[in-house]
Amino acid sequence: MTNKQHPRRLPPWLTKKIPVNTGKPVRELLKDLELNTVCASARCPNSCECYGKNRATFLIMGPNCSRSCTFCAVDKQRPAPLEKDEPQRVAEAVKRLKLKHAVITSVTRDDLPDEGANHFKETILEIKKLNNCTIEVLTPDFNGKKDLISIVADAGPDIFNHNIETIQRLYLTIRPEANYQQSLDVLNFVHSKYKNILTKSGIMLGLGESIKEVIETIKNLADANVQILTIGQYLSPSTKHQKVMEYIHPDIFDEIGAKAKELGFKHVSSAPFVRSSYNAEDVFAAI
């Protein structure tokens, strides 16, 4: 891994064929129920594949985020008021898609008194009313407030995911309104208080980090008792976002993934196209 600017063209390992089944039924269902997905909002390269498998990661609390992370494609406009019936609509979508594993994430809502914790709770509870499936949440840091984290965890998700995203040195550039240690503390708190909930986190590569720094971050996550780890290639959503410093070869992903497994994670996914919720159902089933 080197600190060089990326070439204009993607390397061959980052080209992906569009599947024959691009998930038109899923797109129509999302439109019908007026739901957002992080698949679309974050411009995920796996969206066609996941939609084609009848899967989607729901993005609750609107499409606009209150923070300005430089890597993320989610809109940074002023967030809109919460839609009170959104939890019921998400639950209905889970039911119609017959999901075995529902993944719920959100924009960050620092503007709300509870930062959206109760909306997460209501969404989890509504899904449980209609569906016999496992539930994974991918949450913001809630500014490290344990009472807000507990509101979400008390609702009983099977997996609590919060992404560390990058190494500590790059936080001021990549996540200027977040705190590296605070994110670790969120994950450690959930593990220590909720033994029946699996903890999960993810990191992006290609932002200018060294292998040594990546391994140090992975060790920090292991020390925070994270049990599931995802490692993927950062791809810049546009020229206005953080630039890719390097395209990491798959062999290096394999090397880093192997070192992570040695640290005792229950499951590690490390490859260029890996994302937080990519094949989340399969990951949970494998544990």
**Residue 3 pLDDT exceeds 60:** no
Tokens of 72: 């993320």
The share of the chain scoring above pLDDT 90, in percent, equals: 79
pLDDT in tens, 52-85: 898 999 999 999 899 988 888 787 788 889 999 9
Work out whether the CA dihedral 133, 116, 164, 243 comes out positive or negative.
Answer: positive
Residue 128, C-beta contacts closer than 8 angstroms, at least 6 positions apart: 135, 156
Q: What is the structure's pLDDT at 20? A: 63
Task: Provide the mean pLDDT of the chain.
Answer: 93
pLDDT in tens, 88-97: 999 999 999 9
CA angle 102, 100, 125 (to 5 degrees): 50
pLDDT in tens, 186-233: 999 999 999 999 999 999 999 999 999 999 999 999 999 999 999 999
Q: What is the structure's pLDDT at 8? A: 60
Backbone angles phi, psi at 78, to 5 degrees: -60, 125
